[in-house]
């Protein structure tokens, strides 16, 4: 009788457990402003699938592209407040909030997205800035070099850019002003019409935007000003409570995936730059290369942008000089 009761008890326990077998221990939501067709969005969705696969279904992530869960500017706070569990957006949308990481966006002379992505993650790992302490950082990535493109004339010297109206925002706008141009702060989606209608004479943007935003159809000249090229840092962060709810083994798996995916994002940006440059050339666009002497002049002209960063961060009680020097060292 006792054996029968024991058997029944074991069977009952199994029956209770069966419905939960195979179910996810943790379900997460992921918000991204990139549209689903964008290469960065596709990679984010692949990350979600990889997490589920490699954690054996212990962690399942529902993906929401195109700003359907939170908009680009709302994304970071959306993660902090639990509107989404994970978010990908741009640090520059909260300008002034991330002073240490902002150093990466400066016109430091980026050549590739791989370089920019390495720098962003290295700066975070080295300083572990308090500005990001309200989230669990997954990883960062940065787009390829932001360069100057114009409509009516090639820009080969600093004298050429004087008086030119250039669409630019944030640090790229500061760079335009330092070089002698007139920055016009307008969002990227408006850029095509601004250039087409002659409202602006040119634009500062990543090479890939010539294809993704069709800017290569309206810009006729590109200046390879790589020595003052900037990037934009994108974050992938998770709500701290949600991260704490994930079992340690799965956390370690996600960390490993994060390292792989940072490189994948960088590679996708660089491939997009290659395609963007070819698209620009296919539309009849012409590339101008600065002479070494002229490039040195641009670097000197851009120095006040870097000096301003050091001064501004120092006012906030941070060692802006140390942050800038370390950031520059990662490029070498």
Helix (H) or strand (E) holding 282: helix 248-282
- Looking at residue 16, its pLDDT comes to 40
Asked whether the predicted pLDDT for residue 193 surpasses 80, the reply is yes
22 domain-assigned: yes
Give 6 or 116, the one with higher predicted confidence. 116
CATH of the domain at 169: 3.40.190.170
Residues 132 and 165 placed together within one structural domain of the fold: no
DSSP labels, 143-198: -S-EEEEESSS---SHHHHTT-EEE--HHHHHHHHHHT-EEE---GGGHHHHHHTT
169 domain-assigned: yes
Asked whether the predicted pLDDT for residue 182 surpasses 60, the reply is yes
- The count of structural domains within the chain is 2
- Looking at residue 232, its pLDDT comes to 95
- Looking at residue 24, its pLDDT comes to 63
105 domain-assigned: no
Residues 156 and 79 placed together within one structural domain of the fold: no
Residues 22 and 153 placed together within one structural domain of the fold: no
- Determine the average pLDDT of the residues in 169-177: 92
Asked whether the predicted pLDDT for residue 14 surpasses 50, the reply is no
Q: List the single range of 16-20, 107-111, 242-246 with lowest mean pLDDT.
A: 16-20
- Domain span holding position 298: 146-230+275-331
Q: Which two tokens stand for residue 87?
A: 């978010």
- Determine the average pLDDT of the residues in 144-164: 97
Asked whether the predicted pLDDT for residue 13 surpasses 70, the reply is no
Residues 300 and 254 placed together within one structural domain of the fold: no
Residues 210 and 288 placed together within one structural domain of the fold: yes
Residues 250 and 209 placed together within one structural domain of the fold: no
104 domain-assigned: no
- Determine the average pLDDT of the residues in 62-86: 96
- Looking at residue 174, its pLDDT comes to 94
Q: Which two tokens stand for residue 110?
A: 């980026």
120 domain-assigned: yes
- Looking at residue 9, its pLDDT comes to 47
- Determine the average pLDDT of the residues in 247-253: 98
Residues 196 and 138 placed together within one structural domain of the fold: no
Residues 120 and 198 placed together within one structural domain of the fold: no
- pTM here is 0.89
Sorted by sequence, the CB contacts under 8 Å of residue 133 that are 6+ apart come out as none
Residues 154 and 253 placed together within one structural domain of the fold: no
Give 262 or 20, the one with higher predicted confidence. 262
- Looking at residue 23, its pLDDT comes to 52
Residues 58 and 169 placed together within one structural domain of the fold: no
- Average pLDDT of every residue of the chain: 93
103 domain-assigned: no
Residues 286 and 320 placed together within one structural domain of the fold: yes
Residues 162 and 285 placed together within one structural domain of the fold: yes
31 domain-assigned: yes
193 domain-assigned: yes
Helix (H) or strand (E) holding 310: helix 292-315
> What pLDDT, in 10s, does the model give residues 286-308?
999 999 999 999 999 999 999 99
């Amino acid at each position: 009788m006792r054996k029968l009761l024991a058997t029944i008890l074991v069977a009952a326990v199994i029956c209770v457990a069966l419905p939960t077998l195979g179910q996810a221990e943790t379900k997460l939501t992921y918000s991204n402003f990139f549209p689903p067709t964008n290469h960065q969005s596709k990679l984010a969705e692949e990350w979600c699938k990889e997490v589920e696969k490699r954690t054996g279904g212990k962690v399942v992530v529902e993906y929401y592209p195109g700003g359907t869960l939170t908009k680009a500017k709302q994304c970071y706070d959306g993660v902090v407040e639990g509107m989404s569990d994970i978010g990908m957006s741009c640090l520059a949308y909260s300008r002034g909030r991330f002073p240490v990481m902002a150093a990466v966006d400066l016109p430091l002379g980026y050549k590739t997205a791989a370089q920019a992505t390495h720098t962003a993650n290295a700066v975070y790992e080295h300083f572990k800035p308090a500005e990001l302490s309200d989230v669990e950082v997954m990883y960062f990535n940065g787009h390829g070099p932001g360069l100057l493109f114009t409509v009516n004339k090639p820009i080969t010297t600093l004298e050429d850019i004087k008086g030119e109206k250039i669409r630019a925002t944030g640090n790229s706008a500061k760079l335009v002003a330092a070089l002698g141009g007139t920055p016009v702060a307008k969002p990227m989606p408006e850029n095509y019409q601004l250039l087409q209608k002659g409202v602006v004479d040119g634009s500062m943007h990543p090479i890939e935007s010539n294809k993704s935003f069709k800017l290569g159809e309206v810009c006729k000249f590109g200046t390879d000003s790589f020595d003052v090229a900037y990037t934009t840092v994108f974050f992938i962060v998770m709500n701290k409570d949600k991260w704490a709810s994930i079992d340690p083994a799965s956390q370690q798996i996600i960390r490993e995936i994060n390292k792989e995916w940072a490189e994948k994002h960088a590679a996708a940006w660089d491939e997009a730059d290659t395609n963007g440059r070819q698209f620009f050339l296919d539309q009849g666009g012409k590339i101008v290369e600065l002479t070494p002497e002229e490039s040195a002049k641009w670097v000197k002209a851009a120095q006040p942008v870097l000096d301003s960063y050091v001064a501004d961060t120092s006012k906030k009680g941070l060692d802006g000089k140390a942050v800038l020097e370390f950031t520059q060292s990662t490029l070498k």
